């Protein structure tokens, strides 16, 4: 029982590390064809980027199925992946991108930091010179602002609409650290 919990929570935490590298090097690399839709204004409920969630969910389902057929502890690895996917859905799709009915903007603490970090990720047009590739962990906004300044040789100026919230001033708010 304790081993199963350890596998579950290790996988849950490990998924954030995996997601960081997958986001930075796959989604903003050779997988940009799917991920680009996530950095453009959404025209419907779904976007091509959602295919990543389908692929990861299918992988988790296979692991759970194999684990329940005796290949332990694969079911707990699949369960940890599923839990991460659920937290991703709540924090990223729901909180940041408003893809579920509750419209909540965090005003302090961890959720505000996560929210602002993702807005800063979307403050850049295109796939290059972005910051903050994690989904459930975010560096401080001061650190992210410094990274943006370094990557862009000075302050970031983006006047177009921010796709993270479809709000014209979201990028400005993110760059000010509010």
Angstrom distance (rounded) from CA 118 to CA 144 = 10
**Same domain? 90 vs 121:** no
Model pLDDT, residue 91: 92
Residues 6+ apart with CB under 8 A from 174: 116, 119, 120, 122, 123, 141, 162
Domain count for the chain, please give it: 2
**Would you say residue 174 has pLDDT above 70?**
no
| In-domain check, residue 65 | yes
Angstrom distance (rounded) from CA 16 to CA 37 = 22
**Same domain? 89 vs 171:** no
For 39, the domain range is 2-96
Written as one string, the DSSP assignment of 33-68 is: HHHGGGGS---SS--TTHHHHHHHHHHHHHHHHHHH
Over residues 74-117, the pLDDT tens digits come to 999 999 999 999 999 999 999 999 988 878 899 999 999 999 99
Angstrom distance (rounded) from CA 129 to CA 75 = 37
Least confident range of 40-54, 80-94, 103-117, 154-168: 154-168
**Same domain? 114 vs 163:** yes
Rounded to two decimals, the pTM is 0.84
Model pLDDT, residue 66: 99
**Same domain? 6 vs 61:** yes
φ, ψ of residue 63 to 5 degrees: the values are -65, -45
Over residues 109-150, the pLDDT tens digits come to 999 999 999 999 999 989 999 999 999 999 999 999 999 999
What counts of helices (H) and strands (E) characterise the chain?
A: 7, 0
Collapse the DSSP code of 112 into the 3-class scheme (helix H, G, I; strand E, B; otherwise coil) and give the result. helix
**Same domain? 11 vs 91:** yes
**Same domain? 11 vs 83:** yes
* Helix (H), strand (E) at residue 81: helix 74-88
| In-domain check, residue 103 | no
């Amino acid at each position: 029982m304790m081993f199963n919990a350890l596998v579950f929570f290790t996988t849950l935490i490990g998924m954030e590390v995996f997601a960081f590298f997958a986001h930075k090097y796959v989604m903003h690399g050779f997988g940009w064809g799917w991920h680009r839709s996530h950095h453009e204004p959404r025209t419907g409920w779904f976007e091509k980027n959602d295919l990543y969630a389908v692929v990861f969910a299918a992988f988790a389902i296979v692991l759970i199925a194999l684990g329940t057929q005796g290949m332990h502890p694969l079911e707990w690895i699949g369960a940890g992946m599923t839990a991460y996917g659920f937290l991703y859905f709540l924090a990223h799709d729901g909180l940041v991108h408003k893809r579920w009915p509750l419209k909540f903007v965090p005003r302090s603490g961890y959720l505000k930091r996560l929210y602002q970090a993702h807005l800063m990720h979307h403050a850049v047009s295109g796939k290059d010179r972005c910051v903050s590739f994690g989904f459930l962990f975010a560096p401080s906004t001061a650190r992210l602002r410094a990274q943006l300044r370094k990557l862009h040789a000075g302050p970031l100026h983006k006047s177009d609409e921010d796709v993270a919230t479809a709000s014209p001033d979201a990028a400005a708010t993110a760059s000010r650290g509010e």
